[in-house]
């Protein structure tokens, strides 16, 4: 198991290097002279040259990358053009807000998707199963920003139990924080739940058709024991991949949801910097989200090994 994890970590290094290179190259996608675009038309040649120098754009490409990577490894992602503070500080300030939203949405979506999917599989072709299917089909087709706006309309504008947007830190006003977070969490989790219920249902149905489940039933085990102890463990494997993908969907979704609900997290920072062409911040957010997505998927792979020992044995041979 330890060698398996070590191997996986080693394999991550070349991918992480390429990820950093892709992120670095983003600024070179800007047509023309990035420094001029960043500073606007009114900038003097001197300030453009100064920013060129600050961003290292006056050096050859490989040297620029080496410099940028070296600084990034020391936690220095450059200086934000718009915010007048280091990129790392700007991100770290907003990280807890996004983490709260993202983790809660992930927990809610897993907690809803798994039992609903299992129940739909157990009651195949009943009205409950149809309802789950219809909800998941609709849920994957409605864009998250539309769902967010509809929730704001009904629960904040018409009925008013929730605020249409805003944020109070948990430490200042725990109840207010919970009230503020409910709508964004529902919106963020809904898409993930909808997408995953069907997958869970499908993998559960496949497992339920296997011989060992019939054996378990024949032994006279209770339904719940068969479903949640015998079947679920095997059906969980494909689900884990889904949780990994879901983390990516939630990271992406946070960008949209935070903007709609005026939630001052990393997602909102990303959009503000994108619209303000604050490239160092955009690079920082992109790099951070890719690395955390990679980390989640690494954890998923490791738990594969825990749930099914055959996997880690096979790959370390």
Partner 1 sequence: MRPQSSDSQTGKIALPAEPEALPRASAGLRTLLARLSLLLDAIREDPRLLSGVILAALVVAAIFAPLIAPYPPLKYHPSVATQLPSAAHWLGTDALGRDQLSRVIYGARISLSVGAGAILLGGLIGCALGIVAGYLRGWVDQAITIVVDALLAFPSLILALAIAAALGSGVTNVVIALAIVRIPIYVRLARGQTLQLRALDYVTAARAVGTPAWRILLRHIFPNIFSPLLVQATLSISFAILDESILSFMGLGAQPPTPEWGTMINDAQPYLTGGIDPWMILGPALAITITVLSLNLLGDSLRDRLDPHTARQLGLSAAADTALLDVTTKQAEDATSD
For position 167 contacting partner 1 by CB under 8 A, the verdict is: no
6, 9, 131, 141: which one binds partner 1 (CB under 8 A): 141
For position 286 contacting partner 1 by CB under 8 A, the verdict is: yes
Helix-then-strand count for the chain, H and E: 14, 0
For position 251 contacting partner 1 by CB under 8 A, the verdict is: yes
What's the rounded Cα separation, in Å, for the pair 150 and 135? 16
What's the rounded Cα separation, in Å, for the pair 95 and 311? 34
249, 268, 301, 312: which one binds partner 1 (CB under 8 A): 249
Residues 185-204 binding partner 1 (CB under 8 A) are none
152, 186, 190, 242: which one binds partner 1 (CB under 8 A): 152
What's the rounded Cα separation, in Å, for the pair 215 and 271? 54
Q: Determine the interface stretch with partner 1 among 86-94, 96-104, 107-115, 287-295 (rule: CB under 8 A).
A: 287-295
142, 155, 168, 299: which one binds partner 1 (CB under 8 A): 142
Q: How far is CA 60 from CA 153, 157, 281, 284, in A?
A: 53, 55, 22, 22
Angle, vertex CA 192, rays to CA 264 and CA 198, nearest 5? 175
Alpha-helical regions (H) of 166-231 = 174-208, 211-218, 223-225
Q: Determine the interface stretch with partner 1 among 46-54, 84-92, 174-182, 268-276 (rule: CB under 8 A).
A: 268-276
For position 69 contacting partner 1 by CB under 8 A, the verdict is: no
19, 67, 168, 300: which one binds partner 1 (CB under 8 A): 19
Residue 166 or 174 having the CB closest to partner 1: 166
Question: Helix axis angle, 232-260 relative to 87-122, nearest 10°?
Answer: 130
What's the rounded Cα separation, in Å, for the pair 195 and 193? 5
Residue 220 Cβ vs partner 1, minimum distance, rounded to whole Å? 28
The 3-state DSSP class for residue 316 equals helix
Residue 155 or 168 having the CB closest to partner 1: 155
Name which of 266, 254, 268, 272 is nearest 148 in CA terms.
254
Residue ranges binding partner 1 (CB under 8 A)? 14-16, 18-19, 21-22, 26-27, 29-31, 137-138, 140-146, 149-150, 152-153, 156-158, 164-165, 248-249, 251-253, 255-256, 259-260, 270-271, 274-275, 277, 279, 282-283, 285-286, 289-290, 293-294
């Amino acid at each position: 198991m330890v060698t398996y994890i070590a191997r996986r970590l080693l394999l991550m290094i070349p991918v992480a290097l390429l990820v950093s290179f892709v992120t670095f190259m983003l600024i070179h996608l800007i047509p023309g002279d990035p420094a001029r675009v960043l500073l606007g038309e009114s900038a003097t040649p001197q300030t453009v040259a100064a920013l060129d120098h600050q961003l290292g754009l006056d050096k050859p490409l490989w040297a620029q990358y080496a410099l940028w990577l070296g600084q990034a490894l020391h936690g220095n992602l450059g200086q934000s053009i718009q915010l007048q503070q280091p990129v790392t500080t700007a991100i770290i300030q907003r990280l807890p807000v996004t983490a709260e939203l993202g983790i809660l949405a992930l927990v809610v979506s897993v907690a809803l998707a798994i039992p609903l999917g299992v129940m739909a599989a157990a009651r195949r072709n009943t009205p409950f199963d149809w309802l789950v299917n219809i909800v998941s089909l609709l849920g994957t087709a409605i864009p998250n920003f539309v769902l967010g706006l509809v929730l704001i309309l009904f629960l904040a504008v018409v009925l008013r139990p929730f605020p249409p947007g805003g944020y109070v830190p948990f430490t200042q006003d725990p109840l207010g924080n919970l009230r503020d977070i409910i709508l964004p969490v529902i919106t963020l989790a809904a898409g993930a739940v909808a997408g995953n219920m069907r997958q869970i249902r499908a993998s559960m149905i496949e497992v339920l058709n296997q011989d060992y489940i019939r054996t378990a039933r024949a032994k006279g085990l209770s339904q719940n024991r068969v479903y949640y102890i015998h079947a679920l463990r095997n059906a969980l494997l494909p689900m884990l991949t889904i949780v990994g993908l879901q983390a990516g969907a939630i990271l992406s979704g946070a960008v949209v949801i935070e903007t709609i609900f005026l939630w001052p997290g990393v997602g909102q920072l990303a959009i503000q910097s994108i619209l303000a062409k604050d490239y160092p911040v955009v690079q920082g957010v992109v790099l951070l989200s890719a690395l955390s997505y990679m980390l989640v998927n690494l954890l998923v792979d490791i738990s594969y090994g825990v749930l099914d020992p055959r996997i880690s044995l096979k790959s370390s041979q």
